[in-house]
Chains A and B, each alone.
Chain A
Amino acid sequence: MLWAAIGAGALCCYLLKLGGLSVPERVLRDPRIQKVAALLPVALLAGLMAIQAFSSGQQVVLDDRAVGLSVALLLVILRAPFLAVVVGAALATALLRALIP
């Protein structure tokens, strides 16, 4: 089942890339398509971030991941590079867990 989902997801992603290279340009000029395409990634990334930081199973929870994410936010505001944001958040969470078991 996992393999089938990986195959389906990869195929969809490939067809989207190929589709873009094959679509006539006038379709792109539709402002509604431009608007939705610009906003969709923002909403999805924000939603995924919230689910993975503030939920456990089907419950909304506030735990040490929130501290890690706050550190990530601080690093993003300081314009730290990608790796520093990710490693900093993970380290802060790990440190917190080591100090308060």
Chain B
Amino acid sequence: MEPAQEQGGERLPVIRDAVGIGLATSTYGLSFGALAATAGLDLLQTCALSSLMFTGASQFAMVGVIAAGGNPFSGAAAAALLGARNGLYGLHLAPLLRPRGRRRLFAAQFVIDESAAMTIGRRAPEAWLGFWAAGLSVFAFWNLATLLGALGARALSDPSVLGLDVVAPAAFLALLAPRMTSREPWLIAALGVAVALLLVGPLPPGLPILAVACAATVAGLVLSRGEAASAPPEQTEQGGMEVMDQ
């Protein structure tokens, strides 16, 4: 009896947080739905991205490339690059969730920023609950909001009147902000902006962002080599956790 009550007491705040995160991401989902509709995706394509791809920054990137007139496959490549961090969350989540067989195939779809964030600082049963509560809550709110955003934008004849073309860059800025915790991310962000704007003229749409990814990879390899030479190994451990913190 007592342990059950105790568990109930610890579960409630986890579920409340998960619903809160779902509500917060739904505002972002509204923006995504509106942006996808203005980029020329139909309703089914917009909703398919939110349910099948189900990783916000990747979806914004793909639709952003398409909106800028780029090849949709360049958009898909940019989406995959931005989705790579979910793989890293998976590495952190695997020992907590211990999913096997078919359950692993199902759990994988819900490995996103929010569900990974809900496991940080929690022990096994609450971490497990945090992952699933946040994953399912965000999935429900995200897909509903995408549908509403797409329907809303399609009702307008000229979305640029409402400034909807600023939604994506403003969203990227808001996503970027919590990561700018030291000098290194500022340098890397500046590198990203510089490479993108230098190559937007000479390269066809969609390719500049892939060049940014190459430049960042090279910079990351150079920086990690510098750290390996000069710093003790604890520092690199911290560098890895930074991704989870946002």
Interface string of A1-30 (1 = CB under 8 A from B): 111111111101110111111110101100
The answer to whether B172 touches A45 (Cβ under 8 A) is yes
* Chain B residues touching A, majority SS: helix
Residue of A nearest to B72 (CB): A5
Taking residues whose C-beta sits less than 8 angstroms from the other chain, chain B's interface range is 35 or more
Residues of B within 8 Å of A90, CB to CB, are: 162-164, 166-167, 170
* B125 in the interface (beta carbon within 8 A): no
The residue that A21 contacts in the complex, of B28, B104, B162, B236, with Cβ under 8 A, is: B104
The interface on chain A, measured as residues whose beta carbon lies within 8 A of the other chain's beta carbons, has a size of 73
Residues of B within 8 A of A (CB): 24, 27-28, 31, 41, 45, 48-49, 52-55, 57-58, 60-62, 64, 66-69, 71-73, 75-95, 97, 99, 104-105, 107-109, 111, 160-177, 179-180, 184-185, 188-193, 195-197, 200-201, 204-205, 208-209, 212-213, 215-217, 219-221, 223-225, 227-228, 233, 236-237, 239-240, 242-243
- Which 8 A-B residue pairs are closest in the complex by CB-CB distance? A20-B90, A93-B163, A9-B76, A5-B72, A43-B216, A20-B87, A68-B166, A36-B220
Question: With contacts A34-B224, A90-B163 known, what are 6 further pairs, Cβ within 8 A?
Answer: A5-B71, A18-B90, A31-B233, A40-B213, A44-B209, A48-B169
